[in-house]
Amino acid sequence: MGSQFLYPRLPHLNRAVINFAASGNNTVIAAHATKRILIDRIWLVCAGATNLTFVDNLTDPAAVPMSANGGITFDTTGEPWFVTDPATAFIINSSAAVQVSGCAYYHLDL
């Protein structure tokens, strides 16, 4: 029996390091001039308590409360978790100045 991929429709994913300690908007993936950013997977850990808001094309995104040394994983599902508008960066807003570390896996689309 041959091997099968669990998510055969996923494109090759790019990787962006998540590494910031400032409150407010933190650019994780810079905008592309004509393409949308589609976030397929994220994992991260927060060194202190904060509320994280993942800023994409939603008009009113919800904040996710994080405790000190708390982590979150949005695992690959075959559909993107977040999608930006064209020429828009993917941003994570932190309500507190705490270290946030992790990785985002994404691809670009029209």
- Which pLDDT tens digit goes with each residue over 53-98? 998 877 778 899 999 999 999 998 889 999 999 999 999 999 999 9
Domain span at residue 91? 14-109
Structural domain count of the chain: 1
Tell whether the model's pLDDT for residue 3 goes beyond 60.
no
Per-residue b or e along 35-54, where b marks 16 or more CB atoms closer than 10 Å to that residue's CB: ebbbbbbbebebebebebbb
Is residue 78 one of the residues assigned to a domain?
yes
Tokens at 63, concatenated? 């904040």
Q: In the β-sheet with 63-66, what is the strand arrangement from edge to edge?
A: 24-29, 90-94, 50-55, 63-66
Query: Do the domain assignments include residue 62?
Result: yes
Which tokens belong to 35?
Answer: 């393409």
The token pair at 13 is 């994913």
Task: State residue 56's pLDDT score.
Answer: 81
CATH number where 99 lies: 2.60.120
